[in-house]
């Protein structure tokens, strides 16, 4: 039996020549009949190394599992298709029957997909069971191309294609292909920016895959399609994990989804579900009774050997009273996660009424606009030195300075032109210079950057009142952070940190229109 796993003994290296993979190639050739799994993840491979590896794989007839994730970091887009052609060409020549193909975290995109498709259609992949293409930049075009081969994988049980910006059209094409499959047990499509039409088509595909155990639709928009999803969920009695976090279900949608689960388990009287994620959905107090009823039905009908049910209700709008009631009701019977609650509508209204005008004394979430109590005149804004002196006197602590940065960049953002006005740019530039001089011990001190990122919503703050609300529009602060990112360029770690977090934020649908401007700012130095 071929159960040997071969992998490189290197990690985090950029491999450009055939000599760089000599040891790995020798391992492969010495064990050609024993190799069941090949792992190339964790290094960056150029064309020549993969050409050499591909040739060595031609006699590995028992190869079954390919872990090729995260293997093209920093590679040019024209390198990747050729490199994959050599590698998968060797697999194809071996006549091996591949069961697992993991290409996660590679820049496949619509450029490389045409090179990948012929291999996926070949006899060597007809037995494929596990296909992972998470965070591969497929986009609508790449997703559409992938859809043309999916229906041919008659044994496919696991499909993971999250973080690919498939949007509506891409999901519709993928879903059409999935309606022809009946074997899926795991389907993960998080962060694809799809909405109503895409979700409706996807729900039809779910009904054809009644063996699903894991369903992850995190961070897609389900506000208007909860009825369609509920109809599909009633077919999925084998479901073990349901992730609908950050799907904007709101209270009504959450009640509909929970009611579907409640009905399903009452009818089947056998629940296998062990994890439900409804975090970040703006669920309010009216969902409390349905939450309790559904959980009690699950506990009544589940098998005795099940692990403790995990229910994530974090970052919703229950309010302190309901949060305490839910915690007290369930106790330790389930693993209830209900952190960072954003407060009920009544609590938010009370916060607005009680909030003082002084920025330093405010404990309110900072995207509920506080009064602009430091209006600056034209003359001051036109004089950088005088402006910095004023701000240095005005803001005594770092948090207040960073809050001012958030408010100025939020109020100074022009939604039509997708830009900051001249008053905002003048002040945020001055705020950063003051912050660096006043609060940094040295160039590598992260305190200013970390506080800015937390206050602007790009890093999680320990105290939620110091962060924007989950539904806040962060366009202005994001643009402002990109503008001042050059001020952190002298420290490579801070430069990378702010760039990575900004690029991550740009993956969200609402900020896609800022992409060109952000790129021009963060790659200009």
**What is the phi-psi region of residue 12: left when phi exceeds 0, alpha when psi lies from -120 to 50, beta otherwise?**
left
Tens of pLDDT along the chain (525 residues) come to 578 999 988 888 999 999 999 999 999 999 999 999 999 998 999 999 999 999 999 999 999 999 999 999 888 888 999 999 999 999 999 999 999 999 999 999 999 999 999 999 999 999 999 999 998 989 999 999 999 999 999 999 999 999 898 999 999 999 999 999 999 999 999 989 898 999 999 999 999 999 999 999 998 999 999 999 999 999 999 999 999 999 999 999 999 999 999 999 999 888 999 999 999 999 999 999 999 999 999 999 987 666 899 999 999 999 999 999 999 999 999 999 999 888 877 665 554 444 333 333 333 433 334 334 456 778 888 899 999 999 998 888 898 999 999 999 999 998 878 899 999 999 999 999 999 998 887 777 788 998 999 999 988 766 666 678 777 889 999 999 999 998 888 877 788 889 889 988 888 878 878 887 888 888 765
Nearest partner of 96 among 123, 67, 69, 129, judged by Cα: 123
CA distance 270 to 390: 67
Q: What is d(CA 342, CA 203) in angstroms, rounded to the nearest whole number?
A: 30
Count CA atoms within 13 Å of residue 339 on its CB side: 7
**Rounded-to-integer distance, Cα 517 and Cα 511, Å:** 11
Indicate the DSSP class of residue 340. Answer: S
The answer to whether residues 348 and 447 touch, using CB atoms and an 8 Å cutoff, is no
pTM of this structure: 0.71
Query: Cβ-count burial of 441 within 10 angstroms (0-12 exposed, 13-18 middle, 19+ buried)?
Result: exposed
Helix, strand or coil, per DSSP, at residue 428 = helix
Nearest to 429 by CA among 376, 369, 368: 376
CA dihedral 35, 41, 44, 45 (to 10 degrees): 20
């Amino acid at each position: 039996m071929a159960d040997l796993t071969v992998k490189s003994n290197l990690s985090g290296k950029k491999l450009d020549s055939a000599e760089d993979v000599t040891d790995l190639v020798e391992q492969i050739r010495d064990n050609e009949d024993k190799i069941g799994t090949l792992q190339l993840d964790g290094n960056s491979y150029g064309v020549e190394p993969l050409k050499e590896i591909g040739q060595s794989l031609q006699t590995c007839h028992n190869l079954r599992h390919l872990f090729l994730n995260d293997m093209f970091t920093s590679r040019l887009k024209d390198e990747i298709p050729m490199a994959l052609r050599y590698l998968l060409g060797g697999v194809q020549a071996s006549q091996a029957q591949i069961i697992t193909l993991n290409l996660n975290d590679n820049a496949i995109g619509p450029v490389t997909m045409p090179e990948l498709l012929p291999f996926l259609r070949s006899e060597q992949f007809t037995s494929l069971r596990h296909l992972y293409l998470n965070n591969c930049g497929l986009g609508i075009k790449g997703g559409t191309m992938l859809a043309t081969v999916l229906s041919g994988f008659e044994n496919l049980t696991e499909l993971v294609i999250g973080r690919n910006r498939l949007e509506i059209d891409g999901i519709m094409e993928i879903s059409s292909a999935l309606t022809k499959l009946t074997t899926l047990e795991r389907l993960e499509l998080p962060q694809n920016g799809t909405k109503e039409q895409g979700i409706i088509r996807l729900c039809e595909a779910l009904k054809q895959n009644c063996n699903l155990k894991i369903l992850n639709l995190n961070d897609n928009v389900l506000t208007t399609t909860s009825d369609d999803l509920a109809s599909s969920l009633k077919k999925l009695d084998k479901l073990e994990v349901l992730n609908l976090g950050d799907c904007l279900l709101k209270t009504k949608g959450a009640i509909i989804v929970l009611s579907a689960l409640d009905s399903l388990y009452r009818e089947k009287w056998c629940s296998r579900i062990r994890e439900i994620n409804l975090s970040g959905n703006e669920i309010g107090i009216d969902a409390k009774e349905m939450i309790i009823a559904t959980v009690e039905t699950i506990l009544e009908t589940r098998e005795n050997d099940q692990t403790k049910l995990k229910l994530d209700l974090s970052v919703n709008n229950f309010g302190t009273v309901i949060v305490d009631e839910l915690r007290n009701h369930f106790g330790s019977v389930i693993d209830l996660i209900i952190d960072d609650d954003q407060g009920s509508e009544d609590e938010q209204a009370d916060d607005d009424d009680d909030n003082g005008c002084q920025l330093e004394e405010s404990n309110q979430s900072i995207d509920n606009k506080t009064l602009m109590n430091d209006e600056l005149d034209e003359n001051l804004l036109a004089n950088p030195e005088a402006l910095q002196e004023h701000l240095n006197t005005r803001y005594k602590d770092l948090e207040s300075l960073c809050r001012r940065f958030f408010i100025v960049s939020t109020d100074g953002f022009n939604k039509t032109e997708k830009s900051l006005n001249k008053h905002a740019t003048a002040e945020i530039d001055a705020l950063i210079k003051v912050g660096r001089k006043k609060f940094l011990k040295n160039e590598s001190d992260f305190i200013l950057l970390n506080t800015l990122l937390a206050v602007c919503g790009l890093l999680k703050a320990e105290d939620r009142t110091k962060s924007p609300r989950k539904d806040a529009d962060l366009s202005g602060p994001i643009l402002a952070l990109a503008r001042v990112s050059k001020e952190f360029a002298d420290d490579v770690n801070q430069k990378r940190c702010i760039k990575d977090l900004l690029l991550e934020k740009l993956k969200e649908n609402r900020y896609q229109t800022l992409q060109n401007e952000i790129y021009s700012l963060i790659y200009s130095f």
